[in-house]
Structure 1
């Protein structure tokens, strides 16, 4: 115990370098998911690529470092390795968008699309960090090769644990990606300075100062860009996703992991900026006496606000991410009231625990490349069905293609819902087979409503919005023989989403007031934004 206290109080230079390299390597690995996700999503394939690249780069560094340690190991060499890693981190902070775009141009199948980007951004710095442990083992005062190696790798593993927990539970919830990257760069530079400060090694000391300036400069310049959605009003890393609020003209947009999720016209808050939110009102034509509505997923609360304000109903919202709730209240005029109740809890947990039944449940928690599989399975659909009244309706806002190879997720979800609900309806929101919002509506009624029947109900019922055009997007049931029923023990959502990688996600934008009728020519597509430091105006689509 005494020797442990002595070690903790006075770590040697090589031991400190090993500890910091563990902190940085695992911290960068966690951070890699946030940097890559806006471009390639955060599917199991992305995370598999991240883990594999980090392990491969570290292994190569361990191997070559072990071969060279006997001849080259020194405190000065350790310092140069740390400085080189910090310099590359500065490059990642400053030019990650350019590097991601360059790597994304490599023609690969969708599930491997993120691999070149991960290699380019994180392979070199992780490789350099791999040299540190064998060099430190060579410099260790511990007697015996086995004892020295075991001691060094134990110290490095402790550093990795600190890096994993610290980045996950402290840094990402509190700071942006650029700030965290700058922090890791300065930590590496500071360790290099500590290794060389007391000696006569002027070159690494001067280089450390220069790289520290480079790291800080990269962080400052990286935070000055303008999103494609306009000037950034707010940006943060939440425990679940990257969150950004932008405003272009009067339109304020919420981006989650780089994809537009909600929008509000600050000059006309009643307007449905994104056309798909008009479809949320279709269930009002499929059932009667709607008194209580549940939204699973909040975002900018476009749907919940409209229902609470326009109908005599009580609206519950289950939103898992507390930062989304706070952002909606701060930037999207969301205020809780007797009619609008916000619950910071996951949708499935809320449905298990609630004692309410609903006339309408809206599932609005799906993204193009990250779908909570627990909200897609037949077991979940049965749970939702048990919380619906006898004439209740389930509405799912999916992002998929209505046909073609990129339609697998939509068709699998349709087949899964059809296992539980007698009638399931489909309403795409754009022409063709592009990736778009596909609205799937399920009812507990055995009677199937035709397009003509819905049009007649639209003419008779005063639901506050004219849905004639939306009803014309009524589609026949899709073929489902080649897709699975999603179950809790087998829900291959990532493989079903795979054909959408690299495809445009088209969000139709409505040019008129939410209670009016917009013509086809006013429905301008708004693509997923690209963090390029520029502004893209309406009628533009870009590849995600």
Structure 2
């Protein structure tokens, strides 16, 4: 008898089931919102603050409206209607979500709140509807007293939210795509509607069937208005980001978080497709003896362009790669011809954790873990720079690949990082790959050697040394130190990276390809020639400090200079040499 009573006490009533599932669905949709919004608006603290705020506001309004109506209208049937309406909205979310995202991204709003319209339109209504469930369930509760009924409902809803948070984070996102996850929550809502309103009449069955058909049709159709240039050969949601591999012609491109990250020529796997990866070789000109660089660490793997090229080009080099996302590692091995060996070791760890735990030292550390609007702040601070310095040999070099502007409001992150690195390294060098105020790759090189090398000395070393690639064009992007007195030194206890990146949101990220064309990070052509960009570079002056920061147009290389390596380029006569900027 006591066992039966205990079992009955654990059995949930229909209103209690509704509250629990509403908690699962609302929290699951909140986490899903971050993944849907990120490719268009980034995943900064401002984006997440907007998501959390909209969900709380929608739930609060739903609680308020549901509470006012509960005494007269609360029934299991009405709660079932709430779940069916939620499922129908989720179907629309799958079908036109991308269209709404693109449409709202053009609203003239400050970048910090740019995601507000999209989050409100996409997730406000279903969250508002789910807010009705708790007050309805409290009204229908068999618990004695308002306090006991309310407390029981709050407890069930919170437990449901906990389940939704863990299930979405640890099960759904690593296993399913965004549309499939949305379909899961839509199907869960329909199942809950059926469970709490059975037996259902013909009219309710018809409505339920229609919503189920709408949900399945939207998932089968896919996002309206969303096209990908090229063939998608692999796509997944990782615990850290969305991941896609696209083939277009002879080029295979890795997209992380909706932005192009790495590319490989399928016919010439060791060719630099994005020009900026050519800059990875510049440290060989800064070393007193390039042959002494034999231990290299890459923080951030992506398509492993740099690590693969180093192993291919330099016979005595051993490369370690610290990549936090296991899906990126498996994708690189399957689709980008990455093979571990005695000379190429891959570690599934975050960069800072790896440096903290390893007892190895390196001649060169390449920091390639920054994205346009997603920068791990723990890899930007003075404490991190100090840790990196401690893992470098006495003449070691730190190379950092940033995405920022070289001048103007969008340059704040670049200038703050330059200032931070300067606190730990005697010399820091800057190489903006495009120049001017556009968002681009900017390469920073920090050395422990206190003697500063000039552009002329680097050009001379480039002529004397064979490092497997002619870097004359890259050297000519050498820039003077930027102004840094108006930006902070980044520290673990205060690293306002999101604020510094805020001016970048919504701006195009210009990527140069080795074919001589420029495109944005999403793959679209900018319709501007490199010659046009070079003219802009020559005009670039920072008015705040009255100093020319342009990439100076250096004379053509001497006739004796011989291009080297598979990526060597011979400047055309009577045309300005154009600096490259991405592989």
Q: Same fold (TM over 0.5)?
A: yes
- In the other structure, the counterpart of 2:363 is 359
Give the secondary structure class of the aligned counterpart of 1:481: coil
- In the other structure, the counterpart of 1:491 is 495
1:150-175 C-alpha deviation (Å, 9 max, x unpaired): 11221111111110111011111111
- In the other structure, the counterpart of 2:426 is 422
1 CA distance for matches of 2:56 and 2:490? Answer: 32
1:9-49 C-alpha deviation (Å, 9 max, x unpaired): 3x222111111111000000111110101111111111111
Query: Please, which of 308, 317, 320 is the counterpart of residue 324 of structure 2?
Result: 320
Q: Is the 8 A contact 1:197 1:205 kept in 2?
A: no
1:242-264 C-alpha deviation (Å, 9 max, x unpaired): 11111111111111111111000
1:245-295 C-alpha deviation (Å, 9 max, x unpaired): 111111111111111110001111121111100111111100022111100
Offset at residue 195 of structure 1 (A): 2.5
Give the secondary structure class of the aligned counterpart of 1:307: helix
1 CA distance for matches of 2:139 and 2:182? Answer: 30
1 CA distance for matches of 2:435 and 2:419? Answer: 22
Query: Please, which of 291, 296, 312 is the counterpart of residue 293 of structure 1?
Result: 296
- Range moving further from structure 2, 70-79 or 122-131: 70-79
Q: Is the 8 A contact 2:230 2:246 kept in 1?
A: yes
CA RMSD of aligned residues (A): 1.6
Give the secondary structure class of the aligned counterpart of 1:247: strand
- In the other structure, the counterpart of 2:445 is 441
- TM-score, structure 2 length as denominator? 0.87
- In the other structure, the counterpart of 1:89 is 90
The 1:280/1:434 distance shift into structure 2, 3 A limit, reads same
Offset at residue 225 of structure 1 (A): 8.0
1 CA distance for matches of 2:494 and 2:322? Answer: 25
Unpaired runs of 5+ residues, structure 1, are 512-521, 531-535
2 CA distance for matches of 1:297 and 1:232? Answer: 23
Structure 2 counterparts to residues 326-475 of structure 1, below 5 A? 326-475=330-479
Q: Is the 8 A contact 1:196 1:205 kept in 2?
A: no
The 1:437/1:227 distance shift into structure 2, 3 A limit, reads farther
Give the secondary structure class of the aligned counterpart of 2:366: strand
1:296-322 C-alpha deviation (Å, 9 max, x unpaired): 000000000000110020000000111
Query: Please, which of 470, 478, 483 is the counterpart of residue 482 of structure 2?
Result: 478
1 CA distance for matches of 2:181 and 2:63? Answer: 26
Give the secondary structure class of the aligned counterpart of 1:268: coil
Structure 2 counterparts to residues 244-283 of structure 1, below 5 A? 244-283=244-283
1:488-512 C-alpha deviation (Å, 9 max, x unpaired): 111110100001011101111112x
2 CA distance for matches of 1:427 and 1:448? Answer: 15
Give the secondary structure class of the aligned counterpart of 1:274: coil
- Range moving further from structure 2, 293-302 or 151-160: 151-160
- In the other structure, the counterpart of 1:515 is none
Q: Is the 8 A contact 1:406 1:435 kept in 2?
A: yes
Query: Please, which of 505, 509, 512 is the counterpart of residue 509 of structure 2?
Result: 505
2 CA distance for matches of 1:347 and 1:225? Answer: 38
2 CA distance for matches of 1:295 and 1:444? Answer: 18
Q: Is the 8 A contact 2:95 2:224 kept in 1?
A: no
Q: Is the 8 A contact 2:520 2:526 kept in 1?
A: no
Q: Is the 8 A contact 1:279 1:470 kept in 2?
A: yes
Give the secondary structure class of the aligned counterpart of 1:438: strand
2 CA distance for matches of 1:464 and 1:224? Answer: 47
Offset at residue 228 of structure 1 (A): 3.5
Give the secondary structure class of the aligned counterpart of 2:282: helix
Find the structure with the greater CA-based Rg.
Answer: 2
